[in-house]
């Protein structure tokens, strides 16, 4: 019996050994997979943190700040200032924060003054170009009905905002500015008829301080020859006439 049982024991041992090997392989594979997943997560997290850090640094550089100042700005936004002015410029937020020293405030103020000046220069340059392009494209088109038949020479009272001015002038007129600016400040509508070409009319508008934002909402710029003006009884330039606007 002992002899006959030896093969059976050997067979059992062999099966047990094979099972242990399989379990070891499976366990090792699972451990490797977990390690690989952990490494992937770590790598992805590290990559995201690096990308976010670079993005924050780019933003700081764009506003002329170092990372310490940028973090301070983000801290300021988490307080009352962030509620009062959520879109405040970083330089302003830092310059207005509580407890700031005079020297730092002045430095930030200088930076912001430079930024604002450069921004205004770009905006004014664009506004000037808009006026020039508008005159090229639409300067030949009357923006309002002329209504010359109802023109009168009686100067309206400043309260008569429904009275529209028709102003006839040469493109070279320099003394016209003060009168035009007075009408603009009164909110009065003005149709300006100028002797000259498109380029001269554009220059006239600049010399008179007429903002493109007022054309054509409040002011129209129109070309007219002196012959046409004379046919309307306009013998002296500059001359102002007035018409009653429809209510």
CB 190 within 8 Å of CB 164:
yes
Q: Is residue 11 part of a domain?
A: no
- Report whether 240 contacts 158 (CB < 8 A): no
Claim to verify: residue 235 and residue 162 sit in the same structural domain? yes
State which of 101, 135, 169 marks the end of a domain: 135
- Residue 174 is assigned to a structural domain of this protein: yes
| Closest C-alpha among 36, 92, 33 to residue 65 | 92
On whether residue 100 sits in a domain, the answer given is yes
Alpha-carbon distance of 42 to 209, in angstroms, equals 62
Q: What is the pLDDT of residue 18?
A: 56
Q: Are residues 228 and 178 in the same domain?
A: yes
Task: Determine, yes or no, domain membership for 51.
Answer: no
Are residues 124 and 174 part of one domain? no
- CA–CA separation, 93 and 97 (whole Å): 6
Q: What's CA 48's distance to the chain center, in Å?
A: 29
Which domain-ending residue is among 109, 135, 161?
135
- In this structure, the answer to whether residues 186 and 127 fall within a common structural domain is no
Given this model, what pLDDT does residue 145 score? 45
Residue 40 belongs to some domain of the structure: no
The answer to whether residue 4 sits within a structural domain is: no
**Domain endpoint, select from 103, 135, 167:** 135
What per-residue confidence (pLDDT) applies to 25?
47
Q: Are 160 and 210 within one domain?
A: yes
Name the 3-class secondary structure at 235.
coil
| pTM listed for this prediction | 0.41
Number of domains in the chain: 2
The CATH number for 196's domain is 3.40.30.10
Same domain, 130 and 191: no
- DSSP class of residue 148? G
Whether residue 99 is found in the same domain as residue 177: no
Together in a domain, 129 and 158 = no
What is the domain extent for residue 124? 67-135
Nearest alpha-carbon partner for 146 in 171, 168, 179: 168
Q: What is the pLDDT along the chain (247 residues), one digit of tens a residue?
A: 444 445 565 665 665 565 555 445 445 545 444 555 544 454 445 455 556 777 888 888 888 899 999 999 999 999 999 899 888 999 999 999 888 999 999 999 999 999 999 998 998 889 888 878 877 776 655 544 455 544 555 555 545 557 888 999 999 998 999 999 999 998 888 999 999 888 888 899 999 999 888 887 789 898 888 888 888 888 899 999 888 765 5
Q: What is the pLDDT of residue 1?
A: 41
Distance CA(9)–CA(227), nearest Å, equals 129
Q: Enumerate the β-bridge partners of residue 163.
A: 244
Residue 232 and residue 148 in contact, taking contact as beta carbons nearer than 8 Å: yes
Residue 24's pLDDT is 52
CB contact at 8 A, 97 and 76? yes
End-to-end CA distance of the chain: 126
Q: How far is CA 21 from the centre of its chain?
A: 69
């Amino acid at each position: 019996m002992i002899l006959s049982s030896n093969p059976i024991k050997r067979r059992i041992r062999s099966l047990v050994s094979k099972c242990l090997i399989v379990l070891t392989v499976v366990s090792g594979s699972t451990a490797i997979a977990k390690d690989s997943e952990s490494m992937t997560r770590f790598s992805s997290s590290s990559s995201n943190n690096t990308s976010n850090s670079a993005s924050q640094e780019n933003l700081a550089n764009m506003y002329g700040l170092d990372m310490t100042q940028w973090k301070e700005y983000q801290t300021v936004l988490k307080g009352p200032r962030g509620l009062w002015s959520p879109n405040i410029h970083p330089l302003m937020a830092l310059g207005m924060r509580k407890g700031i020293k005079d020297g730092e405030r002045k430095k930030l103020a200088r930076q912001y003054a430079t930024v604002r000046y450069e921004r205004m220069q770009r905006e004014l340059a664009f506004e000037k170009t808009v006026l020039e392009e508008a005159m090229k494209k639409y300067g030949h088109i009357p923006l309002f009905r002329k209504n010359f038949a109802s023109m009168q020479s009686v100067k309206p009272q400043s309260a008569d905002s429904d009275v529209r001015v028709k102003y006839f002038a040469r493109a070279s007129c320099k003394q016209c500015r003060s009168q035009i600016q007075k009408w603009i400040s009164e909110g009065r509508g003005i149709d300006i008829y100028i002797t000259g070409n498109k380029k001269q009319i554009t220059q006239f508008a600049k010399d008179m301080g007429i903002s493109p934002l007022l054309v054509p909402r409040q002011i129209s710029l129109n070309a007219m020859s002196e012959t046409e003006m004379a046919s309307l009884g306009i013998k002296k330039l500059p001359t102002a006439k007035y018409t009653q606007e429809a209510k």
